[in-house]
Amino acid sequence: MSLQDCALATDLYELTMAAAYFDNKETSKATFELFARSYPRNRSYLVAAGLEQAIAYLSKLRFDEEQIAFLRDHPSFVDVSERFFDYLRKFSFTGDVWAIPEGTVFFKNEPIVRVTGPIIEAQILETYLLSVINFQTLIATKASRIVQSARGRGVVEFGARRSHGPEAAILAARASYIGGCVGTSNVLAGYLFGIPTYGTMAHSFIMNYDSEEEAFKRFCKIFPTNPAVLLDTYDTLEGAQKVVSMGLAPSLVRLDSGDRFALSKKVRHILDRAGLKDTKIFVSGDLNELIIDDLTRRNAPIDSFGVGTELVTSRDDPALPGIYKLVSVEKNGETIYRVKTSEGKGTLPGAKQIYRRYSKGRNFLNDVLALANENPPSDTVPLLIEVCREGKCVYDMPDLGAIRNHAKEEIARLPAKYKRLKGSVEAPVRLSSKLNHLTNSLWKLHNRS
């Protein structure tokens, strides 16, 4: 399945609204901001990811004749003039984008992407941008939690089979790497993104042979450089005993079931007694940050972890409630600020900038959310940077290793209370007085407070 046809990878209403704007001759510029209204459960920070795919999408966004023919025949477009389809034929994104770099830590209600352009163009991007940024941010954040709980031991992303399809698998691998994983089992993610790929063997390999010994022997013969052996097909401790009595010296053994704490201690003991001190213990099987936190707190002799389902689906909360909202329009040279005041779903007006303050220039202190055209608060660093100007990318996309290092630094600079695995603390974000004042006055206009 190819997503080359990505101009249609959007919600229908983006296109019906486009037709309405076109018919109304709405050529004015509009500014939209993408932000998370709230956190997934038990989160107090987020790690931005997905910008590269978002920019690739909007740079190449075009409608071909077949797609246009599909829309022309669609019942929702029965009232739409032919001139709109001519417009789509020539469509490309000509606007400006500001965003925070991938790997940057941010908080709820902070805009991480800001799009300014003719309202039709800026509106059409909504669905795809949200899909690709919500998901990768969700997974980069989940990965950072898991990696922290591993306390320095490597974590490999292992979840392709439980991902929400093959594309979700590679996007999850990319986001997991940004969040601190050392690699992935997904070969395509290695091929496309240069992420280190790892693997051992499946239970089926063991099961194919009449005895576990035969399977171990054959695998170690084929892969003498870095043999890895899976121990738990029948019985983990018997598996370990067999490795030792056969005189094998695998570089790694994998435990995939049972009480991983008790088994890792016993397997370590069996290996050590046989002098296999260099054989690493790799543990997998329905792990998450809470289980890993428990194993590492108790000093289980585990060298690294493979985490699949829980990581690539962010199983404890599989959706980031990111939204994309209109914050201002320009009409006759004037900026008109916009808010939504729906019950529990209100928004902040105007193009904004996030200003971050550090204590002693190093550790994270707090953020100020201000209008982009205000004077910056003192001793702060702006987070949103220019990414596209008039439809062209003007940002030198960092490579994935650099993004990963940036995320690592960001998380290191974040106070511990935001990194707790359970509960959620108040976002350390205050509004500038100008933004606060503007918000209040607009909400009052709509009889809300």
* Binding residues for its own copies restricted to 200-259, rule: CB under 8 A: 200-205, 207-208, 210, 218-219, 222-226, 232-236, 256-258
Q: Which stretch binds its own copies (CB under 8 A): 264-272, 274-282, 333-341, 362-370?
A: 333-341
Task: Give min distance, CB of 424 to its own copies, in A.
Answer: 18
Task: Give min distance, CB of 166 to its own copies, in A.
Answer: 4
340 near its own copies (CB under 8 A): yes
36 near its own copies (CB under 8 A): no
Q: Give residue for tokens 């594309």.
A: 167
Does residue 146 come out as left (phi exceeding 0), alpha (psi in the -120 to 50 range) or beta?
A: alpha
Task: Give min distance, CB of 349 to its own copies, in A.
Answer: 10
Residue among 14 and 374 whose Cβ is closer to its own copies: 14
19 near its own copies (CB under 8 A): yes
Residues 354-383 that bind its own copies (CB under 8 A): none
Task: Give min distance, CB of 398 to its own copies, in A.
Answer: 19
Rounded Cα gap, residues 86 and 63, in angstroms: 10
> Cα–Cα distances in Å, from 148 out to 42, 135, 406?
15, 20, 15
Residues 84-103 that bind its own copies (CB under 8 A): none
Total chain residues near its own copies (CB under 8 A):
121
Exposed / middle / buried, residue 152 (Cβ in 10 Å: 0-12, 13-18, 19+): exposed
Write b or e for each residue in 364-388: b if 16 or more Cβ atoms lie within 10 A of its Cβ, otherwise e: beebbbbbbebeebeebeebbeebb
Residue among 32 and 93 whose Cβ is closer to its own copies: 32
Residues 141-200 that bind its own copies (CB under 8 A): 158, 160-172, 185-188, 190-192, 197-200
Residues 112-141 that bind its own copies (CB under 8 A): 119, 123, 126-128, 130-132, 134-135
Residue of 136, 135, 132, 93 lying closest to 115 (CA atoms): 93
Task: Give min distance, CB of 413 to its own copies, in A.
Answer: 29
Evaluated on CA atoms 179, 183, 186, 191, the torsion sign reads positive
Q: Give residue for tokens 């089992």.
A: 185
